[in-house]
Chain A
Amino acid sequence: MLITERDQLRSEISQFVKKHGGDRSALIPALQYIQQKYTYISEFAMQAVADELDIHPVEVYGVVSFYSFLDCRPKGRFVIRLCRTISCEMQGKDRVARQLENDLGIKFGQTTPDGAFTLEYANCLGMCDQGPAMLVNDQIFSKVTPEKVHDILQGCRQVFGAHAMQRKEEHII
Chain B
Amino acid sequence: MKTPSDRNSMTFASITPNEGLKIAVEKGRMGVLGELSESGLKGRGGAGFPTSVKWNLAAAAHDTKKYVVCNADEGEPGTFKDRFILAEFADLMFEGMTIGGFTIGAAEGIVYLRGEYTYLRGHLETVLEQRRKAKLLGKNILGKKGFNFDIRIQMGAGAYVCGEETALIESLEGQRGEPRNRPPFPVDTGFMGHPTIVNNVETFAWVASIIVKGGKWFKHIGTEKSTGLKLFSISGDVERPGVYEFPMGITVDQLLREVGGEGAKAVQIGGASGHCVHQKDFSRKIAYEDIPTGGSVIVFGRQRDMLAVAKNFLEFFVEESCGQCTPCRIGNEKLLEGVELLEKGCCSMKYLRELCSLGETMQIASKCGLGQSSPNAFLSIVKHFQDEIMGRTAIE
Is A129 within 8 A of B233, CB to CB? yes
Given contacts A86-B78, A123-B77, A128-B80, contact A68 B174 (CB under 8 A): no
Interface centre among A28, A68, A140, by most chain B C-beta atoms within 10 angstroms, is A28
Chain A 128-146, CB within 8 Å of chain B: the 1/0 string?
A: 1111000100111000000
Is A87 within 8 A of B172, CB to CB? no
Given contacts A86-B298, A86-B309, contact A126 B173 (CB under 8 A): no
List A residues 77-101 near B (Cβ within 8 Å). Answer: 84-87, 89-90
Is B174 within 8 A of A25, CB to CB? yes
| Interface band, chain A | 35 or more
Given contacts A85-B77, A129-B242, A135-B116, contact A123 B319 (CB under 8 A): yes
The distance from the CB of A51 to the nearest CB of chain B, in whole angstroms, is 15
Given contacts A63-B176, A68-B159, A87-B298, contact A129 B4 (CB under 8 A): yes
Given contacts A129-B5, A173-B122, contact A123 B298 (CB under 8 A): no
Chain B 136-167, CB within 8 Å of chain A: the 1/0 string?
A: 00000000000000000011111110000000
Q: Report the bound CA distance from A53 to B154 in whole Å.
A: 18
Using Cβ atoms and an 8 Å threshold, which residues of chain B touch A72? Answer: none
Is A86 within 8 A of B116, CB to CB? no
Partner of B158, one of A29, A84, A122: A122
Using Cβ atoms and an 8 Å threshold, which residues of chain A touch B192? Answer: 25
List B residues 50-81 near A (Cβ within 8 Å). Answer: 74-80
Using Cβ atoms and an 8 Å threshold, which residues of chain A touch B37? Answer: none
List A residues 119-173 near B (Cβ within 8 Å). Answer: 122-131, 135, 138-140, 173
List B residues 304-356 near A (Cβ within 8 Å). Answer: 304, 308-309, 312-313, 315-316, 319-320, 322
Given contacts A85-B77, A126-B80, A140-B119, contact A66 B177 (CB under 8 A): yes
B357 at the A/B interface (Cβ < 8 Å)? no
Is A126 within 8 A of B158, CB to CB? no
Partner of B176, one of A66, A90, A127: A66
The distance from the CB of A24 to the nearest CB of chain B, in whole angstroms, is 4
Q: Report the bound CA distance from A84 to B154 in whole Å.
A: 25
Using Cβ atoms and an 8 Å threshold, which residues of chain A touch B173? Answer: 24-25
Using Cβ atoms and an 8 Å threshold, which residues of chain B touch A90? Answer: 236-237, 300, 304
B179 at the A/B interface (Cβ < 8 Å)? no
Interface centre among B118, B173, B316, by most chain A C-beta atoms within 10 angstroms, is B118
Is A85 within 8 A of B177, CB to CB? no
List A residues 2-41 near B (Cβ within 8 Å). Answer: 23-29, 31-32
Using Cβ atoms and an 8 Å threshold, which residues of chain B touch A138? Answer: 118-119
Q: Report the bound CA distance from A16 to B316 in whole Å.
A: 34
Using Cβ atoms and an 8 Å threshold, which residues of chain A touch B315? Answer: 84
Is A86 within 8 A of B122, CB to CB? no
Using Cβ atoms and an 8 Å threshold, which residues of chain B touch A44? Answer: none
Interface centre among B76, B77, B243, by most chain A C-beta atoms within 10 angstroms, is B77
Is A123 within 8 A of B75, CB to CB? yes
Using Cβ atoms and an 8 Å threshold, which residues of chain A touch B75? Answer: 123-124, 126
Is B77 within 8 A of A86, CB to CB? yes
B171 at the A/B interface (Cβ < 8 Å)? yes
Partner of A124, one of B79, B115, B177, B234: B79
List B residues 281-303 near A (Cβ within 8 Å). Answer: 298, 300
Closest to B234 in A: A129
Closest to A63 in B: B176
Partner of A67, one of B74, B177, B272: B177
Using Cβ atoms and an 8 Å threshold, which residues of chain A touch B300? Answer: 90
B373 at the A/B interface (Cβ < 8 Å)? no
Partner of A126, one of B117, B171, B304: B117
A104 at the A/B interface (Cβ < 8 Å)? no
Closest to A60 in B: B174
Q: Report the bound CA distance from A32 to B174 in whole Å.
A: 12
Closest to B155 in A: A32
Given contacts A32-B155, A70-B157, A128-B235, contact A85 B316 (CB under 8 A): yes
The distance from the CB of A74 to the nearest CB of chain B, in whole angstroms, is 18
Using Cβ atoms and an 8 Å threshold, which residues of chain B touch A86? Answer: 77-78, 236, 268, 272, 298, 309, 312-313
Partner of B157, one of A69, A127, A128, A129: A69
Is A124 within 8 A of B176, CB to CB? no
Closest to A85 in B: B77
A109 at the A/B interface (Cβ < 8 Å)? no
Q: Can you report 18 residue pairs joining A to B where beta carbons are below 8 Å apart?
A: A31-B157, A32-B155, A62-B176, A85-B312, A85-B316, A86-B298, A87-B77, A87-B235, A89-B308, A90-B304, A122-B158, A123-B77, A123-B160, A124-B77, A126-B83, A126-B117, A127-B80, A173-B119
Pairs of residues from A and B, 10 with the lowest C-beta to C-beta distance, nearest first: A27-B174, A67-B157, A128-B235, A69-B158, A68-B158, A129-B241, A24-B174, A66-B176, A87-B235, A126-B80
Known: A28-B171, A67-B156, A123-B320. 10 other contacts (CB 8 A): A27-B174, A63-B174, A69-B156, A85-B312, A86-B272, A87-B235, A126-B82, A128-B79, A128-B298, A138-B119
